[in-house]
A = this chain, B = another copy of it.
């Protein structure tokens, strides 16, 4: 039978998973609002960011409360500190999904993404979706194989990001400065989103193995 501390820690990890699901949904919907110029969906993502922030707030309060009451040491303490850090990463990922939805809203009724970039942006969205799915598996099952795979998915994200920038810089770029600025920021949001997912996966890897993840 698990003791009180580990039961509560399990509850916290379940809440972290719930928060990750909220962030994943926010990203998915932000990408939908972006590629279909759907104002209603964009507004939902923007409004839902407050729920993510509230969830982090509650979760952090529970984590600190658990620390105060149970006074964990060694690996238990590290697990609790890791939970705090993961909730901070997830909160920031929620902000980035919110930024993407705001870009969709700002350009409505037009599409924020010009036709020429639709494929790259969709590939970046899919790349982040894949990263998020694996990150959730890493969080839920401490799956270290997936943790190493995420490194490669992140390399693919970096490659797409470079492709995006080189397209903006091509001689045949016909969409002007404003769209180039939008796409520069969008590329940065996607890339940072992936960085935080990688960071979460690293934290879990380190917690389980005591070593830093190396590229597979």
Contacts and interface: CB of A to CB of B under 8 A. Distances in A.
Interface of A: 64, 67-68, 71, 73-74, 77-78, 81, 84-85, 88, 165, 168-169, 173, 177-178, 180-181, 184-185, 188
A150 to B, nearest CB: 20
A48 to B, nearest CB: 21
- Give the secondary structure class of A's interface: helix
A148 B75 CA distance: 39
Copies of this chain, complex-wide, total: 2
A42 B77 CA distance: 39
Contacts of A78: 64
Contact of A177 (B77, B85, B177): B177
A202 to B, nearest CB: 13
Contacts of A77: 64, 67-68
A73 B81 contact: no
Given A180-B181, A184-B181, A188-B188, A74 B68 contact: yes
Contact of A181 (B68, B71, B84, B168): B168
A90 to B, nearest CB: 14
A95 to B, nearest CB: 10
Nearest to A180: B177
18 contacts: A64-B77, A64-B81, A67-B77, A68-B74, A68-B77, A71-B71, A71-B73, A81-B84, A84-B84, A169-B181, A177-B177, A180-B180, A180-B181, A181-B181, A181-B184, A184-B184, A184-B185, A185-B188
